[in-house]
Amino acid sequence: MDDNLIVVLTAVPLADHAEAQQWFQTLRDTFDQQPDTWDAYVAALVERAPGRAEDFATYVASALPDPLDDVRELLGDTLPDWYFATTQQGDPAPYDESEWQAFLAENGPMWAGTEETWPGWREWFAYTAAERGLGEPATGFLTWLDAQPDKVAAFAAYGVVIAAPDDAAEILSRLSSSLAEFERELNELAVEEVGDASSFRK
C-alpha cells in the first residue's frame, strides 16, 4: 500500500472492526457531499465526527501535500481489514473501556514529554497495561502515538495533559522509580526461568 494511504488509514486509533467500519463509512459519506477542497471536506467531516475529525485533519494535512486525493483513494469496503493489517492488530479481545480510560488518565501523564524519554516510558506503559489486561488498547494507542508529529498534542486530544518542562523533573523521578520496579520484575522472571531450566536438566 502507498505510504500516503497508510498515513490516511492510520491517522486515528480505532479499537475494533465495528469502530473502524463506522469511521471509514463517515469518511466515505462525507466525500459523497463532493467537497471541492480539503478545507470544505474537513468542515463537513467535523460536523459528522467532532473531535476525531479535527485530530484526523491535523495529522493528515501535516503529513501529506494533497490529502483530498489520498482520501479519495481509500473509499473501498476493505478499509477495516486494511487498518488492522497495517497496524498489526487483530480484532482485540474484549476489555473494559472505562478501565482503559482510567489507566490512560493515570499513567499517560507519567511521560515527561520529551523524545529522549519516550522509548523508556513507552516500554513501561505497554508492560504495565499488559499486566492489567489492557495490552490491546495500549498497543493500538502507542502505535498511533508513534506516528504523531506532536505527541503532546495527541495526548491532549484524549484529555491527558503532559507536564510542562518545569514539571518534568518530578515526572522523571516517578518514572525512574516505576522503571526500576519494572527491571526488578524482569530480573526476577529471568532468575525463575534459569532455575526452571536447571531443574529440567537435572
CA angle 140, 154, 69 (to 5 degrees): 80
Does 102 lie in the same domain as 139? yes
Boundary of a domain, candidates 86, 110, 140: 86
Domain that holds residue 125: 97-201
Does 124 lie in the same domain as 37? no
For residue 64, the tally of other CB atoms under 10 A from its CB is: 19
Does 74 lie in the same domain as 13? yes
Q: Which range is least confidently modeled, 96-100, 169-173, 181-185?
A: 169-173
Contact (CB, 8 A) for 11 and 56? yes
Specify the amino acid at residue 88: Q
pLDDT attached to residue 182 = 63
Residue 92 lies in a domain: no
Residue 68 lies in a domain: yes
Query: pLDDT per residue over 14-58, tens digit each?
Result: 777 667 777 878 888 888 888 888 899 999 989 988 888 888 888
Does 160 lie in the same domain as 131? yes
Q: For the chain, how many residues are written? A: 202
Query: pLDDT per residue over 73-121, tens digit each?
Result: 766 545 555 565 555 544 555 678 889 889 999 999 999 888 888 988 9
State mean pLDDT over 126-149: 83
- Cβ neighbours of residue 2 closer than 8 Å, sequence gap 6 or more: 73
Does 142 lie in the same domain as 81? no
Does 123 lie in the same domain as 69? no
**What is the domain count for the chain?**
2
Does 35 lie in the same domain as 130? no
Q: Which range is least confidently modeled, 7-16, 59-68, 145-154?
A: 7-16
Exposed e or buried b per residue across 167-191, where buried means at least 16 C-beta atoms within 10 angstroms of its C-beta: ebeebbeebeebbeebeeeeeeeee
Counting Cα atoms < 13 Å in the Cβ hemisphere of 23 gives 25
Residue 147 lies in a domain: yes
Residue 150 lies in a domain: yes
